Amino acid sequence: MTTNKTPTAAQQTALDWVAASTGRLSRDHMTIWNLAEPSWREYRSAKFYVDALKREGFAVEEGSGGMPTAFCATWGKSGPVLGAYAEYDAVPGTSQAPVPRREPRAGLHRWAAGHTDPHSALGIGAFGGVLAAKAAFEKHGIRARIKFFGEPAEKMCGSKPVHAAKGYYDDLEAAISFHPTSLPALANTCLWDTHCGCYWSVIYTFECVEPETWAGAMAREGVVNTHIAARAPAALDAVCLMYTTSKYTRDSMLPHTGAWSINEAILVAGQATADNIPPHVGQIQYAWRVPTIDMAERIAAVLDNNAENVARITHCRLTRTWVTKTRPGLPNHALAEITYANLAMVGAPKLPKEAKDFAREILKTLGLPPADEPFMKEIEELTPPREAEARLRANLPPSQKNYTSDDYVEYTWHCPTVRLYIGRAMLRPPRPGYVFPDWPRNALGGVPAAIDPLHLTAAKTIGATLVELATDPAGLERSKAEFRERTGGGIGGKTWLKPLLPKDFPAPVDFRWPEYVETVRGREWSLPTPTH
């Protein structure tokens, strides 16, 4: 693996574009960070990208795949089709101002959304990379096509399985997936073998549509008084029973091997007042992360069985709606080597004094001693992919081929795809076993001095890699040949996994997802902002 390369003239143009655009990209990042819109509700964030891409000469399909906050932007008329994407969804319950203390953003409920990973930097890093590559393509007359996607709802692994099922990735010849690192062991590297696993999610809706037919609801003789008649258990009890039943049966869903998890969220709970009227509708969402499709299917079977029995017990009609189904990720060593060599050429991010001063203020707030170097050293170091692989697998059983989840895996089954990680500012624990609260990490994401090195490093690496893929046919062909080998012939090959959602799958955008709302009081979170 070559790690001492020098940039070509075209790559230098891409690097120079990023260097000249640092102020713009920093401002763009803060725009998305401050919008902090959650899954399926990223209307303003998507519009920002759509408008910016149109100004740059991209043709943009808005609402791609039937998803109002998704887009597909294309540029170029000939040459290899190279893909990248932006994410921009935030996480409910994590609102944090860019200050060295726990404090929600001004004027918002403390449980409003905020950027945690942060996807604001993910999107701007990829955005800067494709614009840098475009600048190089134009200046040097390089034949290439760029396909840049807006991918909403990554926190639910939502959009990429939909785009994949509807064929949006089928013409890609290579794709770059970038993410701010969440593990110090994976700072400034590319995944090698152990890519993300499956993420499946489903919503169960319980509706009591005929409460009067519940056994005991009607009096046997005389006039019925609805205030003294027995009422059907109905939808609120259904949600409660589904919640508890699935907790009780969790340990029986899978054998106790391999890392996996399951979580739930109640979307609707009753919709009734405290009267003798049966709650008519309730909804509960489940999401599970597993290494294999077989494990995902086993969990789904238990949940379905629980839901069917709960519906009978509570006198409800049951509807099951899939939110997403992702495939396990597929490696591509050739593209990982190309990308990592360009990352090594660019260098790991370096955090300036302003970021370290802010970090020391956080330490002071937490009552911790000051530190000359408040950040983890790994954030400013390169980690070769094979070394990162060894670190990642240190606590995994040999039989487990995939770990945790992210919907970028959908790209890996349609073209050679690399998973690039860049180090983000992480505080160094003052002693072994110490765990920081989440708010310092979230606050650092809104401090330009702490977050700009991350997305600017990503933009340079992505731009240089896209240029290399467009100008080195042999390197691109190595990546494509490996993809064909791993899939038994490419898309439709003997060992290729087709999308798990049908082509006509409607994205689940109409559910009661957390969001910002417009009221007579102005724009606020779905939980009203306290006045005291």
SS3 category, 391: helix
pLDDT for the residue 152:
98
CA angle (75 as vertex; 71, 80 as ends), nearest 5: 110
* Span 445-458, pLDDT tens digits: 999 999 999 999 99
Q: CA-CA distance, 321 to 336, in Å (whole number)?
A: 36
Specify whether the CB–CB gap between 96 and 114 falls below 8 A.
yes
Q: What is the pLDDT of residue 3?
A: 65
Q: Is the pTM of this model over 0.85?
A: yes
pLDDT at 229: 67
Distance CA 313, CA 224 (A): 24
Distance between start and end Cα atoms, the chain: 59
pLDDT above 90 coverage of the chain, percent: 87
Q: Which of 418, 472, 407 lies closest to 157, judged by CA?
A: 407
pLDDT of residue 212: 83
Q: Is 511 exposed, middle or buried (0-12, 13-18, 19+ CB in 10 A)?
A: middle
Q: What pLDDT does residue 403 have? A: 94
User: Residue ranges of the domains in the chain?
Assistant: 9-197+328-487, 199-325
| Residue range 19-28: mean pLDDT, rounded | 98
Give the span between the Cα atoms of 308 and 319, in whole angstroms: 9
The superfamily in CATH containing domain 9-197+328-487 is Zn peptidases (3.40.630.10)
Whose CA is closest to 90, among 109, 67, 118?
Answer: 118
pLDDT tens digits, one per residue of 95-108: 999 999 999 999 88
In terms of Cα–Cα distance, which of 471, 477, 366, 479 is closest to 427? 366
- Residue 399, pLDDT > 60, answer yes
Q: Is the pLDDT of residue 224 over 60?
A: no
pLDDT at 228 over 70: no
Residue-level pLDDT at 319 = 98
Per-residue pLDDT at 218 exceeds 60:
no
Please say if the pLDDT value at position 506 is more than 90.
Answer: yes
Q: Over the stretch 366-393, which tens digit does the pLDDT of each residue have?
A: 999 999 999 999 999 999 999 999 999 9
Q: What would the mean pLDDT of 142-147 be, rounded to a whole number?
A: 98
> Would you state the torsion angle of the CA atoms of residues 374, 375, 377, 379, taken in this order, to the nearest 10 degrees?
-170
Confirm if 332 and 412 have CB atoms less than 8 A apart: yes
On the question of pLDDT at 216 being above 90, the answer is no
Structure-token pair, residue 414: 């349609």
- pLDDT (mean) for 407-416: 98
Tell me if residue 207 falls in helix, strand or coil.
strand
pLDDT of 190 above 80 = yes
> What is the reported pLDDT for 107?
86
Say if residues 125 and 462 touch (Cβ distance below 8 Å).
yes
Q: Residue 36: left if φ>0, alpha if ψ -120 to 50, beta else—which one?
A: left
What would the two tokens of residue 322 be? 């899939």
Listed residue (419, 446, 370) closest to 119, CA to CA: 446
Q: Which long-range contacts (CB under 8 A, 24 or more apart) does 523-528 make?
A: 524/107, 524/108, 524/109, 525/95, 525/108, 525/109, 525/111, 525/112, 525/113, 527/109, 527/111, 527/112, 528/109
Q: Are 287 and 201 spatial neighbours (Cβ–Cβ below 8 Å)?
A: yes
Give 131-181 as a DSSP string. HHHHHHHHHHT---EEEEEE---GGGT-HHHHHHHTTTTTT-SEEEEEEE-
Instruction: Provide the pLDDT for residue 526.
Output: 87
Whether 366 and 158 have beta carbons less than 8 Å apart is answered as no
pLDDT, the chain, mean: 94
How many CB atoms are located within 10 Å of the residue 108 CB?
Answer: 19
* pLDDT tens, residue by residue, 75-93: 999 999 999 999 999 999 9
Domain 199-325 has CATH 3.40.50.300: no
Residue 221 has pLDDT above 90, yes or no: no
What is the distance between the alpha carbons of residues 372 and 206, in angstroms, rounded to a whole number? Answer: 56
Tokens of 98: 């860019």
- Phi/psi region, residue 79 (left: phi>0; alpha: psi -120 to 50; beta: rest), is left
Q: Given a cut of 70, is residue 69 above it in pLDDT?
A: yes
> pLDDT per residue over 433-489, tens digit each?
999 999 999 999 999 999 999 999 999 999 999 999 999 999 999 999 999 999 999
